[in-house]
Amino acid sequence: MPTSLDYARDERDLIQGTRFNAMAIAVALGGGAALGWAHIGVLRGLNEAKIPVKAVSGTSIGALAAVCFAAGRLDSLERIARSTSWLRILTFLDLQWRPGAMLGGRTIMRELTMHLGDVQFQELFIPAATVAADLITGEPVVISRGPVNPAIMASMAIPGLFRPVKRDGHFLVDGGVVMPVPVAAARMIAPKLPVLSVNLQGDYHGRKVSTAIRMRPDRAHSTMSVVRASTMLLMAELARTSLIIEPPDFALTLAVGHIDIHDFTRADELIEIGRRSVIDQLPAIEALVTKQPDAVR
């Protein structure tokens, strides 16, 4: 079984490209709150398969995973994910009843600073980008320069929970509102590389299980079940439409719908699902590595 040190060494080699003469890929990591722990498994699976990743983009929780990978800090993120309990989650809920949000986000920002410092996008090992939504223009904003921590916070600023982030005249909230799977962002920072997308929202049939929606229920569905299932269906369709508008070279849709999107305590299972998804689709992913630049969309 590979150790954390093995992963760190392999990850550094993959990022720096010292082992490969073959073409690399770019990875677009989609949003999905707690389901984003599966991104760690995807990146681990690519690592184990010796698939060189030379650029990464992320939306929402995918932005966090993307920057941690590009900074060589995936080990730190994995330790946090695997150790997360409901009690630890409560420590991040710094209630702050002010206009625009219920949570302050200060604890999350301190955690980001602790693990990433004041690093800039330009200082990362590989090109990386995060995606947020501008509430003023209604357009996605791709951030690939400047400090990474505010960019991550903007990409994860769930409307109503966290205050929008002001940056360069923009009023930014969670990028999943406009670009749930950031394929376009990956192509902006790595136009010559084939893009592997990772969609956390595509398993609606599994989602019905977690929201307790049944074909023939014993009694009427609860109001909360209907609202949750409808919201998840909306998010699934938004992700599907996003991938139609900007199709990747290969789309990976993870079977994570059975896990509640707010349950951050199931990292072990989610990481293994992400890793196994890569292994199951490895022939198609390996084909991307050998894809010639003029064949890339």
- Tell whether the model's pLDDT for residue 108 goes beyond 90: no
Report pLDDT digits (tens) over 90-100.
Answer: 776 766 666 66
DSSP annotation of 129 reads: E
Q: Which amino acid is at 293?
A: P
Residue positions counted in the chain: 297
Could you tell me which residues come within 8 angstroms of residue 65 by beta carbon, excluding any fewer than 6 positions away?
29, 36, 39, 40, 43, 58, 74, 77
Per-residue pLDDT at 18: 34
Report pLDDT digits (tens) over 166-204.
Answer: 998 899 999 999 999 999 999 999 999 999 999 999 988
- Contact between 62 and 34 under an 8 Å Cβ cutoff? The reply is no
Which token pair is 102? Answer: 């219920």
Among 174, 203, 249, 263, the active-site one is: 174
Task: Name which of 243, 256, 240 is nearest 195 in CA terms.
Answer: 243
Considering the entire predicted model, what is its pTM? 0.86
Per-residue pLDDT at 9: 44
Report pLDDT digits (tens) over 24-80.
Answer: 999 999 999 999 999 999 999 999 999 999 999 999 999 999 999 999 999 999 999
Q: Which amino acid is at 91?
A: T
Among 57, 60, 155, 210, the active-site one is: 60
The H or E element spanning position 103 is strand 101-103
Instruction: Reply yes or no on whether 4 is catalytic.
Output: no
Instruction: Reply yes or no on whether 60 is catalytic.
Output: yes
Q: What angle do CA 172, 156, 177 make, to 5 degrees?
A: 65
Per-residue pLDDT at 230: 80
